[in-house]
C-alpha cells in the first residue's frame, strides 16, 4: 500500500475515533472535579504547576497536621494569597478563620488522595483485586504493577518480590471467578485469543538495589535471580509477565535479563518486554531482538511505549556531558512508534505486540498497519494506563475488544513518583491528551497528521536556522566539562579491565624524578603498592632528598624569567595540549588509580575528567585574565591593570585525588606564568608521574614543571621554607596545612617575596536529613557521599544529622541499604567499597571505630575480605552528640556518625559546630528550610537534595573556610588570581598639552 493511501486511512480512522468520543473528557481534564480544576490551573500557570507537583511529591511524607499546614503555606502562600483553585472549596465551606488552616489542609489532603486514587487501583491487595474485578466487568483486561521503583536494600527488594507472591496468590484464586473476556478460548485462565487473565509487570531495578551498568554482569545475574522467582509463579498459574523498561541506564541490562529469561522459558510465549520508541537506540534494539527471536525460534512479546523518562534523560545526559539518548522532537518519537509497530507486526508469528499508547493517531496507525499486514487479532492488543484517557480506552475497546489497563497498586509513598510522572505527562505541552482534551484543544487534523511528515518539516525548519556559533572567547569553544564515563556503553565497560590488564602486563618499573627537563634516578626508593593486595608492587618510586629538591628549585628559578615572559596565550596552549593528551589515555590514567589508591572505576575516571577540566578551564581563564584591563576614563591618563606570576611555586598534593588535585594546582601555577616544583604524595606517585609524561609530551619547556616525590618529613619543610619559593599550593590534612602556613610565614635570608599559601585542608562534613526528606533519594546519596572511595575524600560526609521525627525510619533504611554495599578490591565493579590507602590509614580509622563504640552505638559494621589488604569495615555509629570526638575530628575513612537533632535549628547549629567548613548537605522539601540553610549552613560548598562529593569545575568551584582552607575556590573564576600579583601601570599621555589616546592598544595589547 502507498504511504499516502495508508495515511489517509489512518486519518479517517482517527477522525472516526474522535467522532465517537465527541464531547467526552478524561477525568483529569474534566473541570467539574477538583482534580480537573487543579490540572487546568497548572496548565495555565507554570509556576503553580511546579509548586503543585513538588507538593504532591512531598505530600506522603507529611505525617502531622502541622507539617501539612506548614508545607501548604510554604508552597502556596497563606490562605489569602493562595490560588483560588486550591482554596475555593474551603472558602465555600467557610473554612477560614482560626481553624481554617488545618481544615483546608484536610481538604487538600483528601483531594490529593483522590487524585492518587485516580491512577492507583488500591493500596492493599484486597482493594486492588476488587478493583480489578470492576475493570474486567467493564470489559477491560488488566496488567498489574506493584508500585515502587528503585529499592534501597536487599530487604526492600525481597519485600517487593514478596508483594508479587501475595498478589499472584490472590489472583490465582480470583481468576477462576472472572468471566473470560471476549469468550476466551475455552481455558479458564485465558481471555481473548489465548491471552492470560493474570498479567503482571515488574520493574527490574526494584529487584536488585545495586543495579548498575558498571557491574553489568552482576546486575543481570541478580535481577534474573529475583525475576525467576516471580516468573516461576506466573508461569505456574498460566499468567503473563512483562518486564517494564525504566531509565536508559538500565536498558541493556533489562534486555539481557529478558533474553536470558526467555532462554530458560523457550516455549512459554507469555513473557514480554517493553521497548521505548523515544530512544535513539530503539530501531536497532528492536531489530536485534526480533532477529534473535527468529534465530532462536523463541516466541516473544513486546509492549511498545514512547517512554516515560523524557525529562530525566535529557537533564541527566546534559549534566553528565553525554549524548542525549532520547529523541528531542516529539514527532520523531511518534513516527518511530509507527515504524517500530510495523516492524513488530511484520514479525507477528514470533512476536506478540502490545500497543501501549493513548494517542489516537498512533493507535489508528497500528490498527491500519495490522489490517494491511493481515495480522490475526490474537497477535496484538492495546494497553493504556489506568486512570488516563477514559474516553479513548472506551472507544478502542468498542472498536477492537482488546484493551488492557496498566493498573498500579500498592503503597502511596512508593506511588508518588509514578503519580508525579503521570501528572507531568498529562500536563506537558507535547502530550497528545492535553492537546486533545484540555481547554485549548488543537484541531483534529493537526493531531492526526503523519508524524513522519511533521518531523521532516521540523527538521527542514531547523536546518534553515542559522547555526548557533559555538565559539567562546578568543576562538576557543566555551568550556564544557569532560563527559563522565558512560557504563551503558559496552566499550566503556570493557575499557577498564583492558586498561588494568595493560598496566599489569608492564613490569613494575622505576619512577624517576624529573628535574630541569630530565629524568633523575635516586637510590632511595619506595614501593608503590595496591592497597587491596599490598604484595602487588606497581613500581619503585625514587625519593628526592634535600639536594634533589634544591636542584629542582634552582631549575624552576632558572626557567622562570622566560616562562613568565611567554605570552599568556602560548602558556594556555600548553594546557590545552596537555588536556588533549590526557583525554587520549583516559582509561590508562584511571586504571593506575584503581590499582595504586583503590579507587572504584567510575571514581577514578571522574578524577581524570576533573584533571582535564582544570587544564581546559584554567587555559581559558588565563586567556581572559591575561589581557591587561584599562581602568578609569580620565583624559590624558592611561591606566592598565595586569597580572604577573608570583615566582616559583611548590605544589604539594594529596593521594586521594591523585591526578585531579595535582594537575589543578600545577596547571593553575603554570598557566599563570609560575614555574613548579611538584611533590606528590608517596602513596600516589605513580599517578603523579603521569603528569610528567603529559606535560613533557605537551612540550613544556625544561624547568617549568619539576617532579620530586619524597618523604614529607625529609623534604617538606625544606621545600616550604626555601627562600626562592614564592608560593605554596597545598591540599591535604589540617595538621600539615597549618604547619605549612606557619613555616611559610617566616622570612629567610635571601628571600624576596612574602610567601603566598593556598591551603585546602580537611572537613567534618555533615548532611542534614529534614523530617520531610525524600529517603529514596537521601539514603543512596548519603551512602555515596560517606562511603564512596572509602570515605577518603575531603568532601565526604562523616556526620549525618537527622531530625528526630524521621530518625528511626531513616536509620532503619540506611542500615539496610548499607548492608548491600560489598567491600572488596576496587578493580572488581561488584564491590562498592574498597581498601583504604595504607596500613597507617587502616590503623587510624580502626582506632576511631573503637572510639565510636565508646561514644555511641555501632549500628552497622560490614564484613571485610579476609587475607591481605588494608580493609576496614563500612561503619555506621549512632547516638553521637556534638561534643563527641567522632562528631568533631576528621577521620578520613568509611565511618559515619549519626546524630539525632530535636529540630531544624538544632540541626543547623550542630552542622556548623566543628572547626571545619568545607562541604555540607541538606535533604529537605521544605522551601523555608532550604532558604534558611542557604544562609545559615556555613560551608564552602553546600549541596541541597543531592550528594556532597563530586564538585565540577566551573559549576561548583571547590574549597572551604575556617580550618578547611583559606577560601580559595579551585575550578572557579577567581582561582588563578591566587597565583599572580596584580600590577598597575599608569602613564601620563599628555605631551605639551597634546593627549595621544590612540597609543593605548599599541602599548599592551
Ligand X SMILES: Cc1cc2nc3c(=O)[nH]c(=O)nc-3n(C[C@H](O)[C@H](O)[C@H](O)COP(=O)(O)OP(=O)(O)OC[C@H]3O[C@@H](n4cnc5c(N)ncnc54)[C@H](O)[C@@H]3O)c2cc1C
Give the residue numbers annotated as catalytic, written as ranges. Answer: 760, 794
CA angle 161, 162, 163 (to 5 degrees): 90
491471552: which residue's cell? 195
- How many CB atoms are located within 10 Å of the residue 101 CB? 21
580537611: which residue's cell? 762
Question: How does DSSP classify residue 965?
Answer: B
- For the CB of residue 332, give the shortest distance to ligand X in the complex, in Å: 6
- For the CB of residue 578, give the shortest distance to ligand X in the complex, in Å: 39
- For the CB of residue 829, give the shortest distance to ligand X in the complex, in Å: 26
How far is residue 914's CA from residue 906's CA, in Å, rounded to a whole number? 14
Choice between 358 and 492, CB closer to ligand X: 358
311 binds ligand X (CB under 6 A): no
Among residues 153, 115, 146, the alpha carbon closest in space to that of 128 is found at 146
- For the CB of residue 410, give the shortest distance to ligand X in the complex, in Å: 16
How far is residue 29's CA from residue 728's CA, in Å, rounded to a whole number? 65
- For the CB of residue 367, give the shortest distance to ligand X in the complex, in Å: 15
Of residues 131 through 160, those in contact with ligand X by CB under 6 A are none
- For the CB of residue 358, give the shortest distance to ligand X in the complex, in Å: 4
**Per DSSP, which regions of 183-326 are E strands?**
199-202, 240-243, 271-276, 300-305
425 binds ligand X (CB under 6 A): yes
In sequence order, the 6+-apart residues with CB closer than 8 A to the CB of 958 are: 795, 940, 941, 951, 969, 970, 971, 972
Choice between 431 and 968, CB closer to ligand X: 431
- For the CB of residue 89, give the shortest distance to ligand X in the complex, in Å: 30
Q: Which stretch, 31-39, 380-388, 602-610, 857-865, contacts ligand X (CB under 6 A)?
A: 380-388
Q: Is 830 helix (H, G, I), strand (E, B) or coil?
A: coil
310 binds ligand X (CB under 6 A): yes
**Residue from 276, 672, 765, 964 that binds ligand X (CB under 6 A)?**
276
**Residue from 49, 73, 251, 306 that binds ligand X (CB under 6 A)?**
306
In sequence order, the 6+-apart residues with CB closer than 8 A to the CB of 291 are: none
Ramachandran angles phi, psi of 96, nearest 5°: -80, 165
CA angle 502, 503, 509 (to 5 degrees): 130
Choice between 141 and 665, CB closer to ligand X: 141
Among residues 874, 937, 946, the alpha carbon closest in space to that of 910 is found at 937
Q: Which stretch, 328-336, 627-635, 741-749, 827-835, contacts ligand X (CB under 6 A)?
A: 328-336
Of residues 885 through 924, those in contact with ligand X by CB under 6 A are none
**Residue from 161, 181, 384, 953 that binds ligand X (CB under 6 A)?**
384
Choice between 356 and 761, CB closer to ligand X: 356
**Residue from 212, 254, 364, 383 that binds ligand X (CB under 6 A)?**
383
Q: For residue 682, give the H/E element and its range.
A: none
CA angle 519, 520, 522 (to 5 degrees): 150
Choice between 432 and 789, CB closer to ligand X: 432
Choice between 248 and 904, CB closer to ligand X: 248
Of residues 927 through 986, those in contact with ligand X by CB under 6 A are none
Choice between 245 and 532, CB closer to ligand X: 245
651 binds ligand X (CB under 6 A): no
Choice between 454 and 846, CB closer to ligand X: 454
Is residue 544 within 8 Å of residue 710, measured between CB atoms?
yes
**Residue from 212, 333, 530, 540 that binds ligand X (CB under 6 A)?**
333
- For the CB of residue 389, give the shortest distance to ligand X in the complex, in Å: 7
Helix ranges (DSSP H) in 820-873: 839-855
Mask for 715-754, x = binds ligand X (CB under 6 A): ----------------------------------------
Of residues 209 through 248, those in contact with ligand X by CB under 6 A are 244-245
Among residues 352, 307, 354, the alpha carbon closest in space to that of 334 is found at 307
- For the CB of residue 244, give the shortest distance to ligand X in the complex, in Å: 4
Q: Which stretch, 56-64, 158-166, 324-332, 967-975, contacts ligand X (CB under 6 A)?
A: 324-332
Cell triple for 208: 536488585
**Residue from 68, 128, 305, 692 that binds ligand X (CB under 6 A)?**
305
301 binds ligand X (CB under 6 A): no
Radius of gyration from C-alpha coordinates of the chain: 32
Question: How does DSSP classify residue 477?
Answer: P
307 binds ligand X (CB under 6 A): yes
How far is residue 968's CA from residue 958's CA, in Å, rounded to a whole number? 8
How far is residue 1005's CA from residue 15's CA, in Å, rounded to a whole number? 69
Total residue count of the chain as it appears in this document: 1005
330 binds ligand X (CB under 6 A): yes
Cell triple for 718: 625544606
Q: Which stretch, 14-22, 289-297, 377-385, 509-517, contacts ligand X (CB under 6 A)?
A: 377-385
599568556: which residue's cell? 568
Choice between 357 and 978, CB closer to ligand X: 357
309 binds ligand X (CB under 6 A): yes
Q: Which stretch, 305-313, 367-375, 866-874, 929-937, contacts ligand X (CB under 6 A)?
A: 305-313
- For the CB of residue 681, give the shortest distance to ligand X in the complex, in Å: 46
Among residues 984, 972, 976, the alpha carbon closest in space to that of 649 is found at 976
**Own/partner long-range contacts of 171-177 (Cβ < 8 Å, ≥24 apart):** 171/129, 171/132, 171/144, 171/198, 171/200, 171/237, 171/239, 172/198, 172/237, 174/129, 174/132, 174/133, 175/237, 177/133
Mask for 429-458, x = binds ligand X (CB under 6 A): -xxx--------------------------
> What angle, rounded to 10 degrees, do the helices at 360-372 and 3-20 form?
130
Of residues 345 through 374, those in contact with ligand X by CB under 6 A are 356-359, 362
- For the CB of residue 195, give the shortest distance to ligand X in the complex, in Å: 14
Q: Is 262 helix (H, G, I), strand (E, B) or coil?
A: helix
- For the CB of residue 380, give the shortest distance to ligand X in the complex, in Å: 13
How far is residue 221's CA from residue 256's CA, in Å, rounded to a whole number? 10
Choice between 305 and 579, CB closer to ligand X: 305
Choice between 151 and 706, CB closer to ligand X: 151
- For the CB of residue 21, give the shortest distance to ligand X in the complex, in Å: 15
Ramachandran angles phi, psi of 849, nearest 5°: -65, -40
Of residues 394 through 413, those in contact with ligand X by CB under 6 A are 406
Cell triple for 331: 514527532
CA angle 559, 561, 565 (to 5 degrees): 120
How far is residue 519's CA from residue 513's CA, in Å, rounded to a whole number? 6
**Residue from 274, 606, 794, 832 that binds ligand X (CB under 6 A)?**
274
Backbone conformation region of residue 193, classed left if phi is above 0, alpha if psi is from -120 to 50, else beta: left
How far is residue 696's CA from residue 673's CA, in Å, rounded to a whole number? 17
Choice between 145 and 548, CB closer to ligand X: 145
Choice between 161 and 363, CB closer to ligand X: 363
Q: Which stretch, 27-35, 321-329, 603-611, 858-866, contacts ligand X (CB under 6 A)?
A: 321-329
- How many CB atoms are located within 10 Å of the residue 370 CB? 22
- How many CB atoms are located within 10 Å of the residue 435 CB? 17
How many residues contact ligand X, by CB under 6 A?
A: 30
**Residue from 167, 308, 665, 976 that binds ligand X (CB under 6 A)?**
308
* Cα pseudo-dihedral 779, 785, 791, 795, rounded to 10: -150
Q: Which stretch, 342-350, 423-431, 586-594, 996-1004, contacts ligand X (CB under 6 A)?
A: 423-431
325 binds ligand X (CB under 6 A): no
- Contacts with ligand X by CB under 6 A lie at 244-245, 274, 276, 278, 305-310, 327-330, 332-333, 356-359, 362, 383-385, 406, 425, 430-432
Amino acid at each position: 500500500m502507498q504511504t499516502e493511501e495508508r495515511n489517509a486511512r489512518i486519518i479517517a480512522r482517527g477522525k472516526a475515533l474522535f467522532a465517537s468520543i465527541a464531547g467526552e473528557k478524561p477525568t483529569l481534564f474534566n473541570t467539574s472535579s477538583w482534580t480537573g480544576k487543579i490540572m487546568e490551573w497548572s496548565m495555565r500557570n507554570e509556576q503553580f504547576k511546579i509548586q503543585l507537583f513538588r507538593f504532591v511529591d512531598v505530600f506522603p511524607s507529611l505525617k502531622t497536621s502541622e507539617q501539612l499546614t506548614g508545607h501548604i503555606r510554604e508552597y502556596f502562600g497563606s490562605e489569602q494569597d493562595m490560588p483560588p483553585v486550591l482554596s475555593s472549596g474551603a472558602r465555600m465551606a467557610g473554612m477560614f478563620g482560626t481553624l481554617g488552616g488545618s481544615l483546608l489542609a484536610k481538604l487538600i489532603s483528601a483531594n490529593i488522595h483522590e487524585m492518587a486514587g485516580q491512577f492507583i487501583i488500591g493500596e492493599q491487595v484486597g482493594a486492588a483485586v476488587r478493583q480489578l474485578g470492576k475493570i474486567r466487568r467493564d470489559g477491560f483486561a488488566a496488567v498489574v504493577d506493584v508500585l515502587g521503583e528503585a529499592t534501597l536494600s536487599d530487604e526492600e527488594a525481597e519485600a517487593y518480590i514478596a508483594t508479587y507472591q501475595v498478589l499472584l496468590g490472590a489472583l490465582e484464586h480470583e481468576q477462576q471467578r472472572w468471566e473470560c473476556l471476549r469468550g476466551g478460548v475455552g481455558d479458564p485462565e485465558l481471555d481473548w485469543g489465548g491471552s492470560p487473565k493474570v498479567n503482571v509487570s515488574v520493574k527490574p531495578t526494584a529487584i536488585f538495589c545495586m543495579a548498575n551498568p558498571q557491574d553489568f554482569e552482576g546486575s543481570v545475574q541478580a535481577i534474573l535471580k529475583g525475576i525467576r522467582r516471580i516468573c516461576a509463579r506466573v508461569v505456574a498459574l498460566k499468567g503473563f509477565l512483562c518486564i517494564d523498561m525504566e531509565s536508559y541506564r538500565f536498558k541493556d541490562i533489562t534486555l539481557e535479563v529478558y533474553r536470558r529469561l526467555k532462554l530458560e522459558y523457550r516455549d512459554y510465549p507469555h513473557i514480554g518486554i517493553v521497548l521505548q520508541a523515544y530512544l535513539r537506540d530503539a530501531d536497532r534494539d528492536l531489530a536485534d531482538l526480533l532477529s534473535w527471536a527468529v534465530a532462536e525460534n523463541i516466541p516473544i512479546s513486546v509492549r511498545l511505549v514512547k517512554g516515560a523518562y523524557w525529562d530525566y534523560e535529557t537533564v541527566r545526559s546534559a549534566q553528565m556531558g553525554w549524548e542525549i539518548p532520547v529523541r528531542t522532537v516529539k514527532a520523531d518519537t511518534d513516527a518511530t512508534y509507527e515504524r517500530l509497530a510495523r516492524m513488530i507486526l511484520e514479525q507477528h508469528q514470533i512476536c506478540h505486540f502490545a500497543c501501549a499508547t493513548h494517542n489516537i493517531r498512533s493507535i489508528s496507525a497500528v490498527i491500519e498497519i495490522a489490517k494491511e499486514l493481515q495480522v490475526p487479532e490474537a497477535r496484538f492488543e492495546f494497553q493504556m494506563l489506568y486512570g488516563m484517557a477514559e474516553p479513548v480506552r472506551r472507544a478502542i475497546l468498542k472498536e477492537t475488544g482488546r484493551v488492557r489497563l496498566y493498573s498500579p497498586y500498592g503503597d502511596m509513598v512508593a506511588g508518588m513518583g509514578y503519580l508525579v510522572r503521570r501528572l507531568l505527562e498529562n500536563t506537558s505541552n507535547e502530550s497528545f491528551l492535553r492537546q486533545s482534551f484540555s481547554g485549548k484543544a488543537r484541531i483534529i487534523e493537526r493531531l492526526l497528521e503523519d508524524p513522519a511528515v511533521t518531523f521532516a518539516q521540523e527538521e527542514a525548519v531547523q536546518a534553515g536556522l542559522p547555526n548557533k556559533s559555538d565559539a567562546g572567547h578568543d576562538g576557543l569553544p566555551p568550556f564544557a566539562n569532560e563527559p563522565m564515563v558512560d557504563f551503558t556503553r559496552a566499550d566503556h565497560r570493557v575499557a577498564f579491565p583492558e586498561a588494568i590488564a595493560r598496566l599489569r602486563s608492564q613490569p613494575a618499573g622505576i619512577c624517576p624524578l624529573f628535574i630541569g627537563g630530565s629524568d633523575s634516578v635516586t637510590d632511595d626508593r619506595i614501593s608503590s603498592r595496591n592497597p587491596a593486595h599490598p604484595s602487588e608492587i606497581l613500581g619503585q618510586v625514587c625519593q628526592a632528598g634535600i639536594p634533589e629538591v634544591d636542584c629542582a628549585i634552582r631549575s624552576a628559578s632558572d626557567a622562570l624569567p622566560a616562562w613568565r615572559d611567554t605570552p599568556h596565550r602560548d602558556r594556555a596552549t600548553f594546557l590545552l595540549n596537555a588536556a588533549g593528551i590526557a583525554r587520549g589515555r583516559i582509561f590508562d590514567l584511571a586504571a593506575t588509580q584503581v590499582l595504586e589508591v583503590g579507587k572504584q572505576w567510575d571514581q577514578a575516571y571522574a578524577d581524570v575528567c576533573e584533571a582535564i577540566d582544570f587544564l581546559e578551564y584554567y587555559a581559558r581563564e588565563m586567556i581572559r585574565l591575561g589581557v591587561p584591563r584599562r581602568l578609569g576614563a580620565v583624559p590624558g591618563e592611561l591606566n592598565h591593570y595586569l597580572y604577573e606570576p608570583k615566582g616559583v611555586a611548590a605544589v604539594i598534593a594529596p593521594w586521594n585525588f591523585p591526578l585531579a588535585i595535582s594537575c589543578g594546582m600545577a596547571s593553575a601555577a603554570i598557566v599563570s606564568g609560575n614555574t613548579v616544583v611538584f611533590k606528590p604524595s608517596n602513596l600516589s606517585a605513580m599517578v603523579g608521574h603521569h603528569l610528567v609524561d603529559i606535560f613533557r609530551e605537551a612540550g613544556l619547556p625544561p624547568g617549568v614543571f619539576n617532579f620530586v616525590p619524597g618523604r614529607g618529613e625529609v623534604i617538606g619543610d625544606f621545600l616550604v621554607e626555601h627562600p626562592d619559593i614564592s608560593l605554596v599550593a597545598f591540599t591535604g590534612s589540617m595538621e600539615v596545612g597549618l604547619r605549612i602556613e606557619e613555616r611559610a610565614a617566616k622570612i629567610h635570608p635571601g628571600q624576596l617575596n612574602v610567601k603566598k599559601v593556598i591551603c585546602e585542608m580537611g572537613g567534618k562534613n555533615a548532611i542534614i536529613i529534614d523530617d520531610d526528606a525524600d529517603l529514596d533519594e537521601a539514603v543512596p546519596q548519603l551512602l555515596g557521599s560517606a562511603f564512596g572511595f572509602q570515605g577518603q575524600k575531603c568532601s565526604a560526609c562523616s556526620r549525618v544529622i537527622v531530625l528526630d521525627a524521621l530518625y528511626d525510619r531513616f536509620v532503619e533504611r540506611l542500615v539496610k541499604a548499607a548492608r548491600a554495599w560489598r567491600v572488596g578490591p576496587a578493580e572488581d565493579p561488584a564491590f562498592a567499597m574498597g581498601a583504604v590507602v595504607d596500613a597507617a590509614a587502616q590503623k587510624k580509622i580502626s582506632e576511631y571505630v573503637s572510639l565510636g563504640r565508646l561514644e555511641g552505638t555501632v549500628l552497622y559494621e560490614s564484613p571485610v575480605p579476609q587475607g591481605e589488604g588494608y580493609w576496614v569495615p563500612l561503619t555506621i555509629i549512632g547516638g553521637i552528640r556534638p561534643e563527641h570526638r567522632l562528631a568533631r575530628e576528621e577521620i578520613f575513612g568509611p565511618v559515619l556518625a549519626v546524630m539525632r537533632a530535636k529540630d531544624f535549628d538544632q540541626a543547623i547549629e550542630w552542622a556548623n559546630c566543628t572547626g571545619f567548613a568545607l562541604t555540607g548537605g541538606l535533604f529537605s522539601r521544605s522551601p523555608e528550610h532550604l532558604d534558611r540553610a542557604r544562609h545559615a549552613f556555613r560551608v564552602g560548598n553546600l549541596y541541597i537534595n543531592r550528594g556532597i562529593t563530586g564538585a565540577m569545575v566551573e559549576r561548583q568551584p571547590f574549597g572551604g573556610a575556617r580550618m578547611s582552607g583559606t577560601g580559595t575556590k579551585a575550578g572557579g573564576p577567581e582561582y588563578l588570581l591566587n597565583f599572580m600579583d596584580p600590577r598597575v601601570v599608569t602613564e601620563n599621555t599628555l605631551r605639551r598639552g597634546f593627549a595621544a589616546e590612540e597609543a593605548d592598544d599599541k602599548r599592551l595589547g
